[in-house]
Amino acid sequence: MVRAKKATSKKTGTKSVNPDLMIRVCVGTGGLAAGSQEVMDEFGRQLKAQGIKATIAKKCVNKTGCRGFCAKDVLVDVILNGSSETYQLLIPDNVSRIVSEHIIGGEPVKEWLVGPEYHAFHNKQTKILLKQCGHIDPEDIEAYIDIGGYDGARKALSSKPEKVIDTVKNSGLRGRGGAGFPTGLKWEFCSKAEGSPKYIICNADEGDPGAFMDRSVIEGNPHSVIEGMIIGGYAIGANHGYVYIRAEYPLAVHRLKIAIREAKKKGYLGKNIFKSKFDFDIRIKEGAGAFICGEETALIASIEGKRGMPRSKPPFPAYKGLWGKPTVINNVETLATLPSIIAKGAKWFASTGTEKSKGTKVFALTGNIKNSGLIEVPMGISLREIVYDIGGGCEKKRELKAVQTGGPSGGCIPVSHIDMPVDYESLMSIGSMMGSGGMVVMDDATCMVDMSKFFLSFTQNESCGKCVPCRIGTKRMLEILTRITEGRGQKKDIDLLLELGRDIKLSSLCGLGMSAPNPVLSTIRFFKDEYEAHIIDGICPAGVCKALRQYTVSVELCKMCGKCFRACPSEAIQWEKKLPAFLDKDKCIKCGACYDACPFDAIL
């Protein structure tokens, strides 16, 4: 409760000062969309009217359990005299009752408190990186310092750079951007490389659809990223750092700018940081919207102001990177993990995880799942634990079909492999990959052919066009998938996809092309029957592919409400009051409007 006291002692003079009251409101992108700003303002107004002084902190963005919690409405912590209560589903109208009953009366409003689901969501997680996210004000450097922030950087600067690299190597930390290259090794290459100046770049160009770990970390705890960059810069001997961040993340950019400004004021960035002989500064480069810029060499080209096209490696950026100088590029999550590793030691970090994958990993758990949100779990946890214990299973009592990891570079893991441990090697062995941490849960209403078409149209769209296999190969694959989903598939198509996929993987220039066929190959491997159903039988088992769908009205389920009749644009539905609807297949244009409109799932 140090924070509350500090803030109030500065602003004395109100009628009744309550030093032990703090209210934390979630103001991440998700929280703001749910109206958290209005709730926060209302708390401010009500407390002022009552003459109570409180610290209304901005609870950061860590959208833990957003679905069902933050997302439904606003999540608020009320900390009174050292005991904390969390409310869910708040709207501004709820505030006056909480103020009068809980804050003044001392009795929490029970029916609005979070339920057991909220605690179950958190219990299975191991939080290193997200520990502070959601608990400290991301726009206040003092809040970060109070919980031991910048101790890691201070400790690193007081020892030799080689020792810092050794610690990181011994910790077993591997790059969290996807490929899993050992971080310490990368640093060692760069520190030994000839050339000066050297650069360290934070890769915050999080482009995978379905992933938002990096955004949440920067929005929730920007100083941990800055501290990680200071440690890395010192270890490799770089005096300049860049953060390459997506322009689609305005809130993250805003908070990072504040954090850099505050760190400069404190003397943590600039000349002779922490009163040492080491100089270090950080600049922000906003990306201009290109997925390929997450690839190291493309990212470098983009910072230099060119088209973001990758080049062939070697030489690796550690030897020839930005402006031709030795450069280390680390992912946001990797950098944000470093302060704790340095502060607590390599052994402590290596005690979590599996033999080859150490520590924890943050995943964005999304899709058809009850408790979607941001989670941090130890490496080696099983998929089952993630989906059922933390995620609470599928929505609407549907059956789990597959889990997709690695975004457009990864693959689908079928439900039969759900007890598999989550680490770099296991995921790779099954044709998927860790990726940056998107984890999309799919239920039985998802069509796997449609899914692989979705990912391929993404990579096809984002292919930079430099090398032929990726530019033309993915286009041909997409054409084949499109014709399968439209009911024009041919028998040889599956073999053709496999052949094309193998060739593109072997001959593409960069990681984007080399992994682009993965979603297709992995779904063919595990869901070949679905492809065959589309091609041979002309049906889409999940009922997603519109051209293959046959709509009918179930007479048993129809409640005769007439909603489908009103929704149908082609007069294919006949309906009269007190009679079930009838669908004329000849007139049906398969638009799906009746299916969407039916509240009783009576359109099949």
Partner 1 sequence: MEKECQKILDKYHKNKGNVISLLQEMQESFGYIREDTVNWFSKELNIPASNFYGVVTFYAQFYLKPRGKNIVTACCGTACHVKGSDNIIRKVRENLKLPEGENTSKDGKFTIESVACVGACSIAPVFIANKKVYGKMTSDKAARMIEEVGNG
Chain residues binding partner 1 by CB under 8 A are: 29-30, 32-34, 63, 66-67, 70-71, 206-212, 215-216, 247-250, 286-291, 302, 304-309, 364, 366-368, 372-374, 404, 407, 438, 440, 442, 446, 454-455, 458, 462, 464, 592, 596
Query: How far is Cα 221 from Cα 471, in angstroms, rounded to an integer?
Result: 38
Q: Residues, the chain, total?
A: 604
Nearer to partner 1, 31 or 172 (CB): 31
CB of 442 to partner 1, least distance (A): 6
Nearer to partner 1, 30 or 326 (CB): 30
Nearer to partner 1, 125 or 302 (CB): 302
Query: How far is Cα 473 from Cα 492, in angstroms, rounded to an integer?
Result: 17
DSSP-assigned letters across all residues of 521-539: HHHHHHHHHHHHIIIII--
Nearer to partner 1, 1 or 597 (CB): 597
Nearer to partner 1, 202 or 309 (CB): 309
Place of tokens 């975004």: 407
377 Cβ contact partners less than 8 Å away, ≥ 6 residues apart: 124, 125, 126, 360, 361, 363, 385, 386, 390, 422
Nearer to partner 1, 32 or 420 (CB): 32
484 Cβ contact partners less than 8 Å away, ≥ 6 residues apart: 449, 493, 531, 534, 535
CB of 19 to partner 1, least distance (A): 35
**Nearest one of 354, 304, 342, 346 to 325, comparing CA atoms:** 304
Residue pair 42/228 in contact (Cβ under 8 Å)? The answer is no
Burial of 217 (0-12, 13-18, 19+ CB in 10 A): buried
**Secondary structure string (H, E, C) spanning 144-203:** HHHCCCCHHHHHHHCCCHHHHHHHHHHHCCECCCCCCCEHHHHHHHHHHCCCCCCEEEEE
Angle formed by the axes of helices 448-462 and 518-532, nearest 10°: 150
Tokens of 186: 């990368």
Nearer to partner 1, 22 or 564 (CB): 564
Query: How far is Cα 202 from Cα 191, in angstroms, rounded to an integer?
Result: 17
Query: How far is Cα 200 from Cα 282, in angstroms, rounded to an integer?
Result: 9
CB of 281 to partner 1, least distance (A): 14
Question: Any idea what DSSP says for residue 388?
Answer: I
Nearer to partner 1, 304 or 479 (CB): 304
CB of 373 to partner 1, least distance (A): 5
CB of 178 to partner 1, least distance (A): 15
CB of 305 to partner 1, least distance (A): 3
- For the chain, helix (H) and strand (E) counts, in that order, are 25, 15
CB of 17 to partner 1, least distance (A): 36
Q: How many beta carbons lie within 10 A of that of residue 1, not counting itself?
A: 14
Residue type for position 298: A
Nearer to partner 1, 53 or 401 (CB): 401
Nearer to partner 1, 248 or 281 (CB): 248
CB of 450 to partner 1, least distance (A): 9
CB of 377 to partner 1, least distance (A): 16
CB of 570 to partner 1, least distance (A): 14
Query: How far is Cα 370 from Cα 379, in angstroms, rounded to an integer?
Result: 22
